[in-house]
């Protein structure tokens, strides 16, 4: 069984050796090999596209026939629920199971199907993410309505269009993923950038 260990701490003064040791012990106990270890010092609330090690890990497991990704707890993968769910979905589609040590649970069964118990957990997390997005939308809408009520105008100026260079600068991470051959749907899941916008970027970069 080929695995990788993924570790994360939030600040530069913290260390992730404990996580590495626990995951190495887990692998030895089960007779698994740890093909690579990915560790980062970054807030788990950051977007996936801001997390270099996370993106490296996703690249690695897709190209090295990895069976499982090991984490000590789900929060090591990230603290933003929606971002975590996006990574789990990508792993599931590649047939790669996420093993969560503190729950002693993994996302896929031995035959590559979604584990019903972990699906229950993921469903709860998805609902939390939905509530978070709903709250954000309500706050934004309230802000817009208040802005309009005070005479403000919302939206781009008539005839406004971002230049190709501005698009390249703003969507540098999406372009990097396009160059690596990620599908538009997978990039959308990792970055939250709409597929329509990704199509525009691909057209600008002549990725056909």
Secondary structure, 3-state, 130-178: HHHHHHHHHHHHHHHHHHHHCCCCCCCCCCCCCCHHHHHHHCHHHHHHH
d(CA 173, CA 148): 34
Would you state the pLDDT for residue 177?
Answer: 86
Q: Mean pLDDT in runs of 10 for the chain (208 residues)?
A: 91 78 95 94 77 92 95 82 84 93 88 85 70 70 73 57 78 85 83 85 80
Would you state the pLDDT for residue 105?
Answer: 86
Would you state the pLDDT for residue 44?
Answer: 63
Write the CB contacts of 85 (distance below 8 Å, at least 6 apart in sequence): 122, 125, 126, 129
Threshold 0.75, pTM exceeds: no
Would you state the pLDDT for residue 158?
Answer: 52
């Amino acid at each position: 069984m080929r695995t990788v260990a993924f570790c994360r701490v939030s600040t530069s003064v913290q260390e992730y050796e404990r996580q590495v040791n626990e995951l190495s012990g887990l692998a030895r106990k089960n007779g698994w090999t740890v093909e690579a270890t990915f560790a980062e010092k970054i807030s788990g609330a950051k977007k996936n596209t801001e997390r270099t090690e996370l993106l490296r890990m996703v690249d690695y497991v897709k190209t090295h026939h990895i069976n499982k990704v090991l984490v000590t707890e789900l929060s090591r993968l990230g603290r933003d629920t929606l971002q975590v769910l996006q990574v789990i979905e990508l792993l599931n589609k590649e047939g790669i199971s996420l093993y969560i040590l503190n729950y002693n649970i993994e996302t896929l069964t031995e035959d590559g199907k979604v584990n019903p118990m972990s699906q229950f957990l993921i469903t709860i997390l998805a609902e939390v993410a939905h509530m978070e997005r709903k709250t954000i939308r309500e706050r934004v809408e309230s802000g817009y309505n208040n802005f309009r009520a005070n005479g403000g105008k919302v939206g781009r100026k008539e005839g406004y269009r971002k230049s190709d260079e501005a698009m390249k600068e703003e969507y540098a991470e999406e372009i990097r993923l396009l160059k690596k051959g990620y599908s538009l749907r997978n990039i959308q899941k990792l970055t939250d950038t709409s597929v329509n916008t990704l199509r525009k970027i691909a057209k600008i970069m002549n990725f056909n």
